[in-house]
């Protein structure tokens, strides 16, 4: 599986600024909750008022934001979709039209309206852009006179349109407080895509970059009909798959200490690779190494290959950012939830006390209970 480079995504996002604007044309279609087209726009992007341009720039940059493999997913077109009548060939025609083919635009809007599930108003924005890719010297400096490729692309953003909240406002003309007029406001995008993908600082016609604001709400039907690509395993699916592999492999040895070690080692790997442009992806061999380094016994690892292949598939890759939680370390029982700073998981231990398995949490002198400072220990009464 190919994972995108965050530096190259940032390079395209820089084109959505007044200084580097690479957008040639913008088209849009406002759709109501009944799936009816209410209004459309078609114009040269640079003809827009400056205030509108800045607001659009923010929307476009947001469509290329988030975590790679979670909010931003690289989808590869099957070979059949690149033939005449395929989804990739369709997007190529749309791109090559530079958004000046009205019939093609209407068909594109119709495809989205048919397969995009959203019960309220939304705004489809589609732009065409041309980016003259500057060459780079050996030290990474851009050489604008050494360009040998123009990256021609489409970016689509699908934005909810919501009614502003009711309230009171000050009217400077009448010098009075009055009921505020409620407007329909275009929100930041929920879904979107970039085609073609910008890979290795070049045009990759065989892929599309799909954006979802909430990875848990990926629209699989929309993705499959618009792009014709197989949907990759979601971020949540990767987490659940990894958990199942760990539980199946370790079996009775899946204890607190081993799982804590897996968490800590995975975060160490991510910290070591944090400055790398590519996200850390773990294949079968690397997941097995992770378990071994975390204390899994050789006996347990004998079942690893079978557990991995039956759960994820032999050639699967799992993104570390989808497996590790760098913000919290959580221990949960039916009645108690303990949340610890990920860097201080060592404060929690398991012990047998009076014949019962217990979680023991080391504390200092500062403890709060519902916001009230409490003393952590009372001195034991002296023996009589």
How much is the mean pLDDT over the chain?
88
Residue 383 lies in a domain: no
pLDDT band, residue 82 (cuts 50/70/90): very high
DSSP track, 162-173: EEPPP-EEEETT
Q: Are 23 and 147 in the same domain?
A: yes
Which whole-number Å values give the CA distances from 63 to 43, 83, 158, 189, 211, in the listed order? 21, 28, 9, 6, 6
- Cβ atoms 69, 322 nearer than 8 A: yes
pLDDT band, residue 4 (cuts 50/70/90): low
- Closest by Cα among 153, 231, 228, 223 to 194: 153
Q: Are 119 and 211 in the same domain?
A: yes
The tokens for 35 are 């799936």
What digits encode the pLDDT tens for the residues 328-347?
Answer: 788 888 888 888 888 888 88
Of 182, 198, 231, the last residue of a domain is 231
- Closest by Cα among 317, 291, 307 to 233: 317
Segment 223-240 shows an average pLDDT of 85
Q: Are 81 and 105 in the same domain?
A: yes
Q: Are 106 and 161 in the same domain?
A: yes
Q: Are 19 and 79 in the same domain?
A: yes
Residue 258 lies in a domain: yes
Residue 103 lies in a domain: yes
Residue 25 lies in a domain: yes
Does residue 69 carry a pLDDT above 90? no
What digits encode the pLDDT tens for the residues 107-156?
Answer: 999 999 999 999 899 999 999 999 999 877 666 666 666 677 999 999 99
Tell me the range of 43-47, 176-180, 265-269, 314-318 where mean pLDDT is highest. Answer: 43-47
pLDDT band, residue 53 (cuts 50/70/90): very high
Q: Which stretches of the chain are DSSP H helices? A: 6-13, 50-62, 87-96, 102-115, 220-227, 235-250, 256-272, 284-293, 298-301, 304-311, 320-323
Residue 384 lies in a domain: no
The tokens for 217 are 């709400």
Q: What are residue 368's phi and psi, to 5 degrees?
A: -115, 140
Domain that residue 278 falls in: 236-323
Please state the domain count of the chain. Answer: 3
Alpha-carbon dihedral 234, 238, 239, 245, rounded to 10 degrees? 160
Q: Are 359 and 227 in the same domain?
A: no
Segment 167-181 shows an average pLDDT of 90
Of 231, 255, 279, the last residue of a domain is 231
Residue 60, pLDDT score: 97
- Closest by Cα among 177, 154, 152, 155 to 167: 177
User: 17-26, 56-65, 295-304: lowest mean pLDDT where?
Assistant: 295-304
Q: Are 205 and 344 in the same domain?
A: no
Q: Are 185 and 77 in the same domain?
A: yes
- 15 exposure class (CB count in 10 Å sphere: 0-12, 13-18, 19+): buried
What is the Cα–Cα distance from 6 to 287, expressed in whole angstroms? 23
Residue 16 lies in a domain: yes
- Cβ atoms 192, 156 nearer than 8 A: yes
Residue 109 lies in a domain: yes
Q: Are 273 and 368 in the same domain?
A: no
Q: Are 25 and 41 in the same domain?
A: yes
Q: Are 151 and 288 in the same domain?
A: no
Q: Are 51 and 104 in the same domain?
A: yes
User: 10-14, 228-232, 242-246: lowest mean pLDDT where?
Assistant: 228-232
Which whole-number Å values give the CA distances from 303 to 193, 317, 318, in the listed order? 40, 19, 19
Residue 380 lies in a domain: no
Give helix 87-96 / helix 102-115 axis angle, nearest 10°: 140
Of 323, 341, 365, the last residue of a domain is 323
């Amino acid at each position: 599986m190919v994972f995108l480079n965050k530096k190259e995504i940032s390079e395209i996002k820089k084109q959505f600024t007044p200084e580097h604007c690479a957008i040639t044309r913008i088209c849009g279609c406002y759709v109501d909750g009944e799936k009816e087209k209410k209004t459309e726009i078609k114009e040269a992007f640079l003809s827009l008022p400056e205030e509108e341009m800045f607001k659009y720039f923010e929307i476009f940059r947001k469509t290329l934001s988030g975590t790679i493999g979670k909010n931003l997913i690289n989808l590869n077109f099957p070979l059949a979709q690149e033939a005449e009548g395929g989804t990739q060939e369709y997007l190529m025609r749309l791109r090559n039209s530079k958004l000046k083919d009205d019939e093609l635009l209407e068909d594109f809007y119709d495809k989205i309206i048919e397969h995009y599930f959203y019960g309220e108003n939304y705004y489809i924005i589609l732009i065409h852009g041309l980016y003259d890719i500057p060459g780079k010297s050996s030290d990474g400096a851009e050489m604008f006179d050494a360009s040998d490729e123009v990256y021609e692309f489409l970016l689509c953003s699908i934005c909810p349109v919501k009614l502003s909240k009711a309230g009171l406002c000050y009217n400077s003309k009448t010098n009075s407080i009055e009921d505020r007029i409620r407007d329909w406001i275009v929100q930041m995008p929920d879904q979107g895509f970039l085609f073609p993908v910008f890979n290795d600082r070049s045009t990759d016609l065989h892929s599309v970059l799909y954006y979802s604001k909430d990875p848990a709400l990926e629209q699989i039907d929309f993705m499959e009909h618009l792009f014709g690509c197989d949907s990759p395993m979601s971020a949540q699916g990767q987490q659940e798959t990894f958990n199942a592999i760990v539980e199946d492999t370790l079996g009775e040895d899946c204890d607190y200490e081993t799982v804590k070690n897996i968490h800590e080692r995975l975060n160490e790997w991510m910290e070591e690779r944090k400055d790398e442009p590519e996200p850390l992806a773990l294949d079968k061999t690397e997941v097995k190494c992770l378990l071994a380094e975390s204390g899994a016994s050789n006996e347990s690892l004998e079942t690893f290959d079978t557990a991995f292949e039956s759960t994820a598939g032999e050639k699967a890759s799992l993104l570390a950012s989808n497996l590790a939680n760098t913000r919290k370390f959580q221990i949960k029982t039916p009645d108690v939830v303990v949340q610890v700073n990920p860097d201080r998981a060592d404060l929690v231990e398991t012990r047998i006390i009076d014949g019962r398995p217990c979680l023991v949490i080391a504390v200092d002198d500062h403890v709060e209970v519902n916001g009230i400072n409490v003393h952590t220990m009372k001195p034991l009464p002296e023996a009589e």
